[in-house]
A and B are shown apart, each in its own frame.
Chain A
Amino acid sequence: MTLDFSVLHTALPRMIEAAGTTILISVLAMVIGIAGGLVIMLLRIAPNRVVSLAALSYVEAIRNVPLILLVYWGYYVLPILLDLRLSAFACGLIALSLVVSAYTAEIFRAGVRSIRPRQYDAALALGMSKAQMYRRVIIPQAASRVLPILASVWVSLFKDTSLVSVIGVHELAYVSLEIRSSTFRVLEILSTMALIYWCIGYPQAKLVDRLHRKYGAKE
């Protein structure tokens, strides 16, 4: 079995471009997911029991089903439900954003709850208003605790974008597999694909470690 890496001349630029799509999807899904997560967290801690229960059900439902199935569902079912025509990109983005929002909702909730109650008292005793208390005391502390975990969510998200390849989104996995089947250079293309993912993913993983060390809850 001979290896022929010359195919990379034409393949590599396409794969790098597809990697850009992967990053784009990840960034968009992260932003939308965090925004959604904040909303869901607020619904979770709402005084209305129906609302908080609905939000809890949403979170538990998303967290206990395979993401790849959500991708399929978003592609085949959601357009029918909403009576809309959606591109594969949009469907994949929706599925990913739903998952990110479910996880970040819980992360934000835990982050806020982890602040000792007496921190609230101390702030109020100084004469701060509730808004000032949140802005100056609670949110900064919660943010530093939440940051490393959000970084972990990002790393997972980046990897999970590979799953939207199954509905034909032209990100790195899909493009690589396509090139493989058209050139039959399996080992060369697949190993290059893995290497590209690894090169982007490995520094991110190390960065997450550094964030955990720096911001890990110390009390």
Chain B
Amino acid sequence: MSEVMSFPILERPKSKGQSPMVTYNGVVKRFGAFTALTGVDGAVYPGEVVCLIGPSGSGKSTLLRCTNALERIDEGSITFDGSPLPAAEKDVRAVRRRMGMVFQGFELFPHMSAIENVMAGPLTVLKADKASARRQAEQLLDKVGLAHKADSLPAMLSGGQQQRVAIARALAMEPEMMLFDEPTSALDPETVGEVLAVMRKLADEGMTMLVVTHEMSFARKVGDWIVVFDHGKVVEEGPPDVIYVNPQAERTRNFLSHIGWHE
């Protein structure tokens, strides 16, 4: 615990007067002999944009995937909306519907058009009727700027366009929280901007977001709370003004200088 430099909760702006949406208590996750998370504590508050940063392999993505139970933790607990994540697969599905996830590899369903991808969740999981699902999908595609590509197959879209459709697909479930797993790492530099713009819009609308990212400018400008990971542990966390300007932990400083961050 001595390594972890946390700021008192009072100074965490969006936590004022709210209970956390997600909490992590002593989370440990192992993959065989390798321990990816060695005891993680933390929280995400409603309306917050929490950015997880740190070197590759430090456990950021693992923690994200544990949050919606795509991976199951070995020790500790994760709670969502006050209750621990259910153990049974059937029950955890209900939790997953309340979170949206965006993947580094987009993972659009290639045999469906853009609009069919966006409708996939509501039609299959929420058993919505086709007409209202389509209307909602059209609105969401418009929101991410791709209304004109509704009938295109993923293969005909650029990476940035595919990722924006993926965001729309996640939003179609009307989640209370969005999980982003390095959403721009697989994109050409030109298209990174359009995806970050959509994410910023979401943040401005008050969506609770947990973002694993290497885009430091985004985290600096849009993030409310930064959590720095290294070797499966939280090394430091705080507001961007502190982390990026005057980080307290040595490992944070090393990481930021290693990636060439200048304020």
Whether the complex brings A and B within 8 Å at their CB atoms is answered: no
Query: B residues engaging A (CB < 8 A)?
Result: none
